[in-house]
Structure 1
Amino acid sequence: MRIDNIEFHGFKAENRYAKVEFSSDNVTVIYGDNGCGKTTFLKAINSFLSQNDDELSSIGIKKIICNAVDEGNPKSICVTFNEKGYDWSDFEASCLVNSKSISLGVERGISTQPLIIGPEVIMRFFQRHNYLLRGFRGIELSQKNLYELSAELSLFLKRRNSDKFRSRRLDFDFDKKHLYLQNIKMNNIEEMLLKRHRDARLIATEKIQRALFDTLAVAIEVENSSAESTDTDKCSLRKRILDRKDRIIEALNDGDENSNLKNKIVDILKKIDQPGELDNILENSLLSKLFQNMIDELEEVENLMLRSISLIVNRFNAYLINDKKLVFSRNEVYIDIGNERHSIDELSSGERHILTFLSLVLLGGQGRNFLIIDEPEISLNITWQRELMQLFSMLLPSTQIIVASHSPALAKRNSKYLSELKVWRD
């Protein structure tokens, strides 16, 4: 499904018209003079796709002519405004009625750092209000002890505020068919990434524990019937166990049930690096089958749910310099810099924009027909701008990507992406 062209009548004025012929590729970079209405044009496209009468009316749209194609079948769609409102009959008989889109405004990667109160500020407060610690309370503190108290209180407040920000729910709903995101905060990006990571871990835990009991059930059946030989590629299984042992331990420990069987499996895996332990597993048909089933289940989950997270991490880390890298832990996404770490809020504006794009494109853009972005070049250096459209095209090959920009660098490597916003009056 794609749109070949779209034309708006009554574009910000009764006798004003606006039209774009989209690129034959899956990326279109709309350009035009400042003030010609590129941002409004993107907003009008979103309002058209989502059948938002109020937004179209606020722009002044009286008529929309759109030519779309679905599986090689062209369709001309005309939406007109009359005394009863907009007539959507053509639209509702077209492929676009089942379309999905995501639109990103210019306020992306907004830092949401919690308020940090340094120990010096707290110490000055105690010094000016010394009656709180002395006098009738009978407390006497040296300057050193007072500073230590202030530092501890400062750290407590910082952690509390960080937890408060981190625990906020998402401000947007990916279940919406047409998602319009004007204001995208970094705490939303962090929560979105963590939610996907948590969901994957939960499913992995359930599948691995089910594999544990399913394997035992099969073993009991075999024991009660006849012996059954299993052909296992020991060399391949050896490598798979070594590669996945930490993830299996993690998944088993995530489970609520604290059974002796689970603990026994964890102990076996923890000793696997000791001489002869892995060979003992490979020679034991039951354990070999058990770990093979667990790894199969784990890889299935990771292929389905964690592939996008891994892609975000790998792609984003390729943009970072000075040994910085994005890291996931159980309850946190952070930036590792050697022996130090900081939150994603403390990234540069360009880094925050790239992480926002990657997260929303890979986690929110999958399965959508249209990705619409206003001024994607904001805060990005020239090198990143030149790579951005090709990156989007590679990540979402089946999605029509429509952006409005002032930067020719976005189409530097493919001039076919460019399409002028034509505006005229009758």
Structure 2
Amino acid sequence: MSHIIKFSIKELAGRKKEYTRILNEDINIFFGLNGSGKTSLLKILHAAMSMDRDILRNVPFKQANIELSSKKTEETFIFEIKKNLTHIAKERLDLPEILFQENIPEEIKAELEILSQHHHKQEKISVEVNSKEPFRGLRHTYLPVSRPYPTKRPERLPLSEGQLDLLFAKNLQDLWRRYSTEMLSHIRKIQEDGLANILKTVLSAEESNHLNEVMTEKSISEEMAYEQMRNFLNRQNTNIDILGTRDNFIQRYAKDTRLQKVVSDINAVEKEIEHTLLPRQHLQRLIQKMFSHKHIEFTDSDILVKTEDDRALGLHLLSSGERQLMLIFLETFLAGESIILIDEPEMSMHIDWQLELVNAMRQLNPKAQLILATHSPEIMAEVSDDKIFRLNNE
């Protein structure tokens, strides 16, 4: 897990005093008026972990120091960001030629010449980090105000509102499919290991008395063993007739230690797969609770949305608040033991959802560090005072 320990920023949003905070490993909410520096703060933290200086163009601050801990590498990183005005550049502006005709008085021409020179300050931004190895950035999730994209913004903008909705749906589906691919790969590995154990049991030359020592006590009753094997074969689209009748299977299972071991191995595989699917089921239940008038299902390849009367809806037809909630929940679910930065998570959300948001995010991912910037009192209503930082225009 990575988390930000503390930071200090000079001249954040024009402040005279240095802004310094020690953060919690779980929840941190920055609350303040417009112009208090909430968005600038998140951009600075995001730029440090991304090592992307361009993010900081036009962000009002002078210097930032950020201390971050990585439990994976057992290393503490200290980021130092500096912004300096290096020089004043001049660019000639093209004024209409008629203003420089011969009949214009010389003193007017001189003034126009001065006006035609556009002065602007150029910023030099440096991002440095102490690291034992070459540093290419730290995994984290950043959701700015300008979204509805779960991934990078498209290069060609502007797009119509309908095109943006379709882009949101496509990117969200892509995000879910990448997770599903990893999950299914893990399940296949569980099944392969289980099959190897079953083959070892079936093909082993071990004597029955040795298996008796291993299976001194049947962990699964005869009735449960039959039902489990029947369900397993059904899921594998295998003819259950190979089990024989219930009575014959039960009689065989009571005496055959090899069969007991096979059933035990299958039971272990099923439990491990069930454990792997629990987070996905929890995500679906949590979103379903919020989407009271629509049915949401997360399959191995898609996110399905249906109306109460079972009509299919596309993700792009969700309301703006529903899209916002879906995006935040999915990004939180997939963030792992990392840092989540969200600017104005309350966008388009009903007050009831705002009240439940932080608690729901913690349920989905209790190991991530949440850093939120908000205008909404409801977002932090259920959060203890020690996790709330007020950004005043001081």
| TM-score in terms of structure 1 length | 0.64
Residues 207 and 93 of structure 1: is their aligned pair in 2 closer, same or farther, counting only changes over 3 Å? closer
Is the CA contact (8 Å cut-off) linking 1:215 and 1:293 kept in structure 2? yes
Q: Which residue does the alignment assign to 2:262?
A: 290
Q: Secondary structure at the match of 1:228?
A: helix
Is the CA contact (8 Å cut-off) linking 1:22 and 1:419 kept in structure 2? no
> What do residues 214-235 of structure 1 show as CA deviations (whole Å, max 9, x unaligned)?
4233333236786732345364
Q: Secondary structure at the match of 2:378?
A: helix
Taking the aligned partners of 2:210 and 2:65, their CA distance within structure 1 comes to 71
2:342 is the counterpart of 1:341: no
Taking the aligned partners of 2:69 and 2:352, their CA distance within structure 1 comes to 34
User: C-alpha displacement at 1:321, in angstroms?
Assistant: 1.6
Which piece of structure 1 moves more, 282-291 or 80-89? 80-89
User: C-alpha displacement at 1:103, in angstroms?
Assistant: 0.8
Residues 221 and 68 of structure 1: is their aligned pair in 2 closer, same or farther, counting only changes over 3 Å? closer
Taking the aligned partners of 2:337 and 2:288, their CA distance within structure 1 comes to 25
Where does 1:187-336 land on structure 2 (aligned, <5 Å)?
187-222=170-205, 228-229=211-212, 230-233=215-218, 235=220, 238-239=223-224, 242=227, 246=231, 249-250=234-235, 252=236, 266-268=238-240, 275-276=246-247, 279=250, 282-283=253-254, 284-303=256-275, 305-322=276-293, 324-329=294-299, 331-336=301-306
2:101 is the counterpart of 1:101: no
Residues 53 and 195 of structure 1: is their aligned pair in 2 closer, same or farther, counting only changes over 3 Å? closer
2:325 is the counterpart of 1:367: no
Residues 285 and 327 of structure 1: is their aligned pair in 2 closer, same or farther, counting only changes over 3 Å? farther
Taking the aligned partners of 1:188 and 1:295, their CA distance within structure 2 comes to 37
Residues 343 and 240 of structure 1: is their aligned pair in 2 closer, same or farther, counting only changes over 3 Å? farther
Amino acid at match of 1:30: F
User: C-alpha displacement at 1:101, in angstroms?
Assistant: 1.8
Residues 293 and 380 of structure 1: is their aligned pair in 2 closer, same or farther, counting only changes over 3 Å? same
User: C-alpha displacement at 1:306, in angstroms?
Assistant: 2.5
Residues 22 and 286 of structure 1: is their aligned pair in 2 closer, same or farther, counting only changes over 3 Å? same
User: C-alpha displacement at 1:209, in angstroms?
Assistant: 4.8
Amino acid at match of 2:324: H
Q: Which residue does the alignment assign to 2:38?
A: 38
Whose radius of gyration is greater, 1 or 2? 2
Taking the aligned partners of 1:383 and 1:287, their CA distance within structure 2 comes to 54
Where in structure 1 are there 5+ consecutive unaligned residues? 111-169, 173-181, 254-265
Amino acid at match of 1:399: A
Q: Secondary structure at the match of 1:408?
A: coil
> What do residues 41-91 of structure 1 show as CA deviations (whole Å, max 9, x unaligned)?
2112111222222323442543113456788999976443467852625x4
Where does 1:165-204 land on structure 2 (aligned, <5 Å)?
171=151, 185-204=168-187
Q: Secondary structure at the match of 1:35?
A: coil
Taking the aligned partners of 2:225 and 2:324, their CA distance within structure 1 comes to 37
Where does 1:375-414 land on structure 2 (aligned, <5 Å)?
375-414=344-383
Instruction: Answer 1 or 2: which has greater helix percent.
Output: 1
Q: CA RMSD in A?
A: 4.1
User: C-alpha displacement at 1:195, in angstroms?
Assistant: 3.7
Residues 422 and 270 of structure 1: is their aligned pair in 2 closer, same or farther, counting only changes over 3 Å? farther
Taking the aligned partners of 1:240 and 1:342, their CA distance within structure 2 comes to 41
Is the CA contact (8 Å cut-off) linking 1:222 and 1:228 kept in structure 2? no
User: C-alpha displacement at 1:245, in angstroms?
Assistant: 5.6
> What do residues 79-133 of structure 1 show as CA deviations (whole Å, max 9, x unaligned)?
43467852625x4479x998532111235556xxxxxxxxxxxxxxxxxxxxxxx
Is the CA contact (8 Å cut-off) linking 1:2 and 1:69 kept in structure 2? yes
Where in structure 2 are there 5+ consecutive unaligned residues? 87-123, 153-163
Is the CA contact (8 Å cut-off) linking 2:63 and 2:81 kept in structure 1? yes
User: C-alpha displacement at 1:409, in angstroms?
Assistant: 0.4
Q: Which residue does the alignment assign to 1:6?
A: 7
Taking the aligned partners of 1:233 and 1:33, their CA distance within structure 2 comes to 65
Which piece of structure 1 moves more, 66-75 or 213-222? 66-75
Q: Secondary structure at the match of 1:386?
A: helix
User: C-alpha displacement at 1:338, in angstroms?
Assistant: 4.9
Which piece of structure 1 moves more, 27-36 or 212-221? 212-221
Is the CA contact (8 Å cut-off) linking 1:65 and 1:79 kept in structure 2? yes
Q: Secondary structure at the match of 1:106?
A: coil
Taking the aligned partners of 2:75 and 2:186, their CA distance within structure 1 comes to 40
Q: Which residue does the alignment assign to 2:126?
A: 86
Is the CA contact (8 Å cut-off) linking 1:22 and 1:28 kept in structure 2? no
| TM-score in terms of structure 2 length | 0.68
User: C-alpha displacement at 1:361, in angstroms?
Assistant: 0.8
How many residues align structurally?
335
Q: Secondary structure at the match of 2:323?
A: helix
Residues 238 and 377 of structure 1: is their aligned pair in 2 closer, same or farther, counting only changes over 3 Å? farther
Is the CA contact (8 Å cut-off) linking 2:355 and 2:380 kept in structure 1? yes
Taking the aligned partners of 2:70 and 2:219, their CA distance within structure 1 comes to 49
